[in-house]
Amino acid sequence: MTADPYLSVTIPCYDEVGTLEPFVRSLVATLTPEGFPFEILVVDDGSSDGSGPVGDALAAELAPVRVIHHPENQGLGGVYRTGFAEARGTFVTFMAADMQFPAWTLHHFLPHLADHDMVLGYLPDRNDSVVGKLLSLGERALLRLLFGTFPRFQGTVVFRRALLERYTLVSTGRGWGILMEFILRAHRDGVRMISVPSVVEPRREGRSKVSNLGAIRANLSQLITLRRYLSRG
């Protein structure tokens, strides 16, 4: 019987045919020397560019890889829900197929898992445009306004899967609201967590699917809805 994986890396993938294969192979190369069992769960979120067949070919070749296909695009919210439900590892993380967070950045997180149940990345030296920096500052200010204290977080999170059993997550929609709710609930619950510096690299291909006006508006709506729900509780 195959041992349960120590780490599940869930990859949100929507039309990333140019980067999916090199990213999966880089994850295998990064994690194999660690010596623990792992899985790579590719969530093909309704791609139409051939990403799905690429994922299937990788799963046929590489034992740690499996693929789940969404018949229609569900956005990040749908991918998070699928990952929450399907990941089998003791610890779970999400890393986008666009390779902006390279596989080797997991080395920033893995040493902390022995003493923490959630490890959050943040970006201390972002070389953003003026607009990007303003959006980042605005996001942090909004989180403080809506929820008070919120742990420092940008990008990647690794968490103990058993935490998902503690909370009934209520956030709906396509954005990252459900992940932010999960982090907030864990923070308020006193879960052992730590924020560690990480890095982000420029996209190699295509355009961001989360840093656009529609995605920002959807995420804002989800956070406001969550604040209303929590205030009633």
Per DSSP, 28 falls in state H
Residue 68: band (very low, low, confident or very high) from pLDDT cuts 50, 70, 90: very high
Q: Is the pTM of this model over 0.95?
A: no
- Mean pLDDT comparison of 30-39, 125-134, 164-173, 199-208, highest-scoring range: 30-39
Task: State the average pLDDT over residues 93-100.
Answer: 95
Please check the confidence at residue 214 and state whether its pLDDT lies above 70: no
What letter represents residue 201's amino acid?
E
* The predicted structure's pLDDT at residue 117: 98
Kindly state the tokens that stand for 11: 């990859």
Per DSSP, 166 falls in state T
Q: Which residue has the higher pLDDT, 138 or 99?
A: 99
Residue keyed to tokens 């898992």: 113
* The predicted structure's pLDDT at residue 221: 72
Sheet holding 118-122, edge to edge: 65-70, 38-45, 7-13, 91-94, 157-160, 118-122, 193-197
Work out the angle at residue 105's Cα, subtended by the Cα atoms of residues 51 and 186, and round it to the nearest 5 degrees: 95
* β-bridge partners, 69: 44
Q: Which residue has the higher pLDDT, 141 or 87?
A: 87
Residue 141: band (very low, low, confident or very high) from pLDDT cuts 50, 70, 90: confident
Which alpha helices (DSSP H) does the chain contain, by range? 20-31, 51-61, 75-86, 130-147, 177-188, 213-232
The answer to whether the beta carbons of residues 185 and 151 sit under 8 Å apart is no
pLDDT digits (tens, 9 = 90+) for 7-49: 999 999 999 999 999 999 999 999 999 999 999 999 999 999 9
Spell out a b/e string for 48-64, using b for 16 or more CB atoms within 10 Å of the CB, else e. Answer: eeebbebbbebbeeeeb
* The predicted structure's pLDDT at residue 1: 37
Query: Which residue ranges make up each domain of the chain?
Result: 7-232
The answer to whether the beta carbons of residues 82 and 43 sit under 8 Å apart is yes
Q: Is residue 44 helix, strand or coil? A: strand
Helix (H) or strand (E) holding 195: strand 193-197
Q: Is residue 119 helix, strand or coil? A: strand
Q: Any idea which architecture 7-232 has in CATH? A: Alpha-Beta Complex (3.90)
Cβ contacts of 206 within 8 Å, gap of 6 or more: 15, 16, 18, 98
